[in-house]
Structure 1
Amino acid sequence: MSIVPVPPHADKSFGAFLFDMDGTILNSIAVAERVWTEWAVRQGVNVEALLATIHGRKAIETITHLGLAGVDPAEEVRLLTLAEIADLEGVEAIAGAVAFLDALPADRWAIVTSAPRALALVRLEAAGFRTAPLLIAGEDVENGKPAPDCFLLAAERLGHAIEDCLVFEDAPAGIEAAEASGASVMVVTATHRTRLETSHPGIADYNHIIGHLAADRFLRLHPKAR
């Protein structure tokens, strides 16, 4: 029998798990970059520079930051969202993520994404996830990641102190938001093209871990037997 590695944070107990969506439980990079590339070309924006900034952040903040003359950021976000909703090619779950979330108690986890709710719902369905018990979307907070507001709101609605929560994230903006909130952090590297410099432990996917509600009513991570 092969040795099953102990997952990061296995020595800790948590009240709840908070999951980013894109890049953390599902892969939507291809569609996001297709849609944003087309938008950047139309607007005369440097494609490579723009794509380096879009992941993990609210689209309204990304576009507003560009300061493009004659552009209504809210209208551009509306059009971008419609384009992303219409294009689901290549959207798929990170390995093991569906089974991992399905095994968790419904009142102990939430999805916390910068994406608009309508887009989040179609992507989650396309990737094979059941309806999330709690979904915090981009429009639910005024300040998006890297501000901690979204994670703080999720913890509050689940009824747990943020310090007792474990955030699963993949992008620098989300990791920064989780750090600012006071939560523990697990970095998911499934979609990373280059090594991310971070002090937090990570997992490549969810194939080898399970979340277990212990007798003391706290969540713990355990290795999945092979």
Structure 2
Amino acid sequence: MAGRGSSLPEGRYSAFLFDMDGTIINSIAAAERIWGAWAVRHGLELASFLPTMHGSRAVDTITRLGLPGIDPEAEALKITDAEITDVEGIVEIPGAADFLRSLPANVWGVATSAPRDLALRRMKAAGIPVPAVLVTAEDVAVGKPSPDCYLLAAQKLGVDAGSCLIFEDAPVGIAAGEAAGATVLVVTETHGHPTDASHSTIKNYEKIFAKADEDGFVSLEERAT
């Protein structure tokens, strides 16, 4: 484990809520292939643009650019279609699939900025189980860093977002988790540099496991080495 807050968050939680890309799956190679080609076509400088597109809905990323003559919704649909087609190199964050399968179905969900069809395609490619609660880009009017997706996921699970542990990787997602009033745990597997977040961090899921108690709460434990 690494980072400023490397120890696991203590306590019991009503549910675990997960972001998808960078948190339970590694889709960087595919995403940067597709977004990189799009950026070049529109004359954007790759080194400065690519870090800005992680964690946000495609339509929000494009809208922020303010490119003249561009319809963000139409462009986002094109990018999503390309991402659904190209899942080469998409893999689980180490240990994620087994960790998720170990959780009772009623205590976890995924809240992602990806559209539903893309989320299902990527989870299948990475061998990730599909949760009973899956909140995607179409389900909220405002994407991350708004907390709406996490508030909705908690509602669907019948719990308060403030009693949840949110697993995130990107700054906009971390901000969304904070705004939801939840405890945030940062997954650093895909980070090229140490995280500046003050939250607890894990590299991946290989050294942790979940415990569910008789009252229906879940907590995290570190595997003995």
* Shift >4 Å, 4+ stretches: none
Correspondence 1:31 to 2:30: yes
Contact 2:166–2:185 (CA<8 Å) still a contact in 1? yes
1:224 Cα deviation from its structure 2 partner: 2.7
Identity, % of aligned pairs?
50
Contact 1:60–1:77 (CA<8 Å) still a contact in 2? yes
Please name the residue that 2:157 is paired with: 158
1:7 Cα deviation from its structure 2 partner: 5.5
The separation in 1 between residues aligned to 2:49 and 2:115, in whole angstroms, is: 19
Correspondence 1:40 to 2:39: yes
- Output aligned runs, 1:181-220, within 5 Å: 181-220=180-219
- TM-score of the two chains, using structure 2 as the length reference: 0.95
The separation in 2 between residues aligned to 1:196 and 1:55, in whole angstroms, is: 15
Unpaired runs of 5+ in structure 2?
1-5
SS in 1 for 2:186: strand
1:216 Cα deviation from its structure 2 partner: 2.4
Correspondence 1:122 to 2:126: no
Please name the residue that 1:103 is paired with: 102
RMSD: 1.2
Contact 2:112–2:135 (CA<8 Å) still a contact in 1? yes
Contact 2:8–2:221 (CA<8 Å) still a contact in 1? no
The separation in 2 between residues aligned to 1:223 and 1:69, in whole angstroms, is: 51
Letter in 2 for 1:213: A
The separation in 2 between residues aligned to 1:135 and 1:7, in whole angstroms, is: 28
SS in 2 for 1:186: strand
Please name the residue that 1:18 is paired with: 17
Letter in 1 for 2:8: P
The separation in 1 between residues aligned to 2:130 and 2:33, in whole angstroms, is: 26
How many pairs align? 220
1:223 Cα deviation from its structure 2 partner: 2.1
The separation in 2 between residues aligned to 1:139 and 1:49, in whole angstroms, is: 27
Contact 2:7–2:200 (CA<8 Å) still a contact in 1? no
Letter in 2 for 1:78: L
Query: Which string of whole-angstrom CA distances, capped at 9 and with x for unpartnered residues, describes residues 180-208 of structure 1?
Result: 11000100000000111011010000011
Correspondence 1:8 to 2:8: yes
The separation in 1 between residues aligned to 2:136 and 2:215, in whole angstroms, is: 31
Letter in 1 for 2:27: S
Unpaired runs of 5+ in structure 1?
1-5
